[in-house]
Amino acid sequence: MENLSKIRQCIKIATQGFVGRQQLAELIILAAIAKEHLLVIGAPGTAKSAVVRRIAKTMNGQYFEYLLGRFTEPSELFGTVDLKKLREGTVETDTKGMLPEAEIVFLDEVFLGSTAILNTLLGILNERQFRRGHTQIACPLKICIGASNSLPEDEGLAAFADRFLLHLFVEPVADNFIEDMLTGGWQAEYSTVDVSLTLDELEALSSQVQHVNLDKIFTPFADAIRLLRQNGITLSDRRVVKTLKLIAAAALVNGRLEAEKQDLWPLYYVLPTADIQQRGQEILKDIFTLSNNSQLFYATESATQQPNARLERLMEMATNCVNGEVVHIEAVLREIDANYTIDTIPEQLKQLRIQLIKLIA
């Protein structure tokens, strides 16, 4: 558990200057710990690839990125055929520096890949195995992040999209944060990235996922699935079972080897479309009431929209104000007061609020 403190540091470094992209960085961490994959849907230019690159740098991981097109050849992703061995009658692929040897992969416009590319990717995503001709190697892949402007309507491509367990829908920065985006974006252009959470440390966390006790959440999780089904939202059995890995990872990141009801929030991101996620959030609001996470609090809050999920973010923001790192003290105070009354505010946040009032008095 000693690596947990490095998670927030990794997220801060990866998102420095990128307004509203903490949620993306947090889900990359969650997915990587659970050894699952993330699909990001959003317009071009929303800093998706920039955040992924910085995450890879903070982890010092072998990174592979590619923008797919209609005419992308499999060799552009997986490597070319070794001509010397081909003359000897053996079809082998030289994968050096290519996707099969990468630990973190980002594929933009992933649904534009040909059938040959997507079929090969399925083996890598599902089994961490690359097979082509006589070449068969184990892939060190921790996480694949796929991106697209929209979800595909084609049934075959929709089935491929289903292999990405987490779905995140990214919107452009809101109008009231444009100034912050400009300031942050300018700083991000020239900021450096230091290694914080190494891939070995991430693997150490991943190895503990299977040891998380899920006994307490089986019933409330089953209730959540039944509730979704009663409202016309059905997930495949495979996605339902795989969601347990995300719940276990969420508990682990929150410093526990026992999952509790507060760790059910990743279910929101397993819902496949933006509309279904919005409906699911309303349907599951009572189940999500207790949701929180001390490290992945932006993702938790976005999933649940519950006051309890906002606590860790508000405490971090208030602490930053007290330490002189943030100047929007009035805005932080307004948000604290909008979410808590004098009777419901947790003691730690209450003390920080008192300090903030003194700063503007």
pLDDT (0 to 100) of residue 69? 93
pLDDT tens per residue, range 280-322: 999 999 999 999 999 999 999 999 998 888 998 899 889 988 8
DSSP bridge pairs for 107: 66, 146
Q: What percent of the chain has pLDDT over 70?
A: 90
8 A C-beta contact, residue 248 and residue 259: yes
| Residue 186, C-beta contacts closer than 8 angstroms, at least 6 positions apart | 17
Backbone phi, psi, residue 123, to 5°: -65, -35
Q: Is the pLDDT of residue 202 over 60?
A: yes
pLDDT tens per residue, range 218-254: 999 999 999 999 999 999 999 999 999 999 999 999 9
Taking residues 142-148, report their average pLDDT. 94
As a whole number of angstroms, the distance between CA 361 and CA 349 comes to 18
pLDDT (0 to 100) of residue 144? 96
- Closest by CA to 24, choosing from 37, 36, 15, is 15
Least confident residue range of 11-20, 37-46, 66-75, 183-192: 183-192
Q: When comparing pLDDT for 92 and 128, which is higher?
A: 128
Least confident residue range of 9-23, 140-154, 210-224, 231-245: 9-23
Q: Is the pLDDT of residue 186 over 50?
A: no
Backbone phi, psi, residue 81, to 5°: -70, 135
pLDDT tens per residue, range 57-100: 888 889 999 999 999 999 999 998 776 776 666 778 888 999 99
pLDDT (0 to 100) of residue 183? 58
Q: Which amino acid is at 300?
A: T
As a whole number of angstroms, the distance between CA 282 and CA 105 comes to 33
Q: Is the pLDDT of residue 355 over 60?
A: yes
- Closest by CA to 110, choosing from 58, 57, 52, is 52
As a whole number of angstroms, the distance between CA 296 and CA 134 comes to 42
Q: Is the pLDDT of residue 269 over 50?
A: yes
Name the pTM for this structure. Answer: 0.89
* 3-state percent breakdown (helix, strand, coil) of the chain, nearest 5: 55, 10, 35
- 310 membership: H or E segment, kind and range: helix 307-322
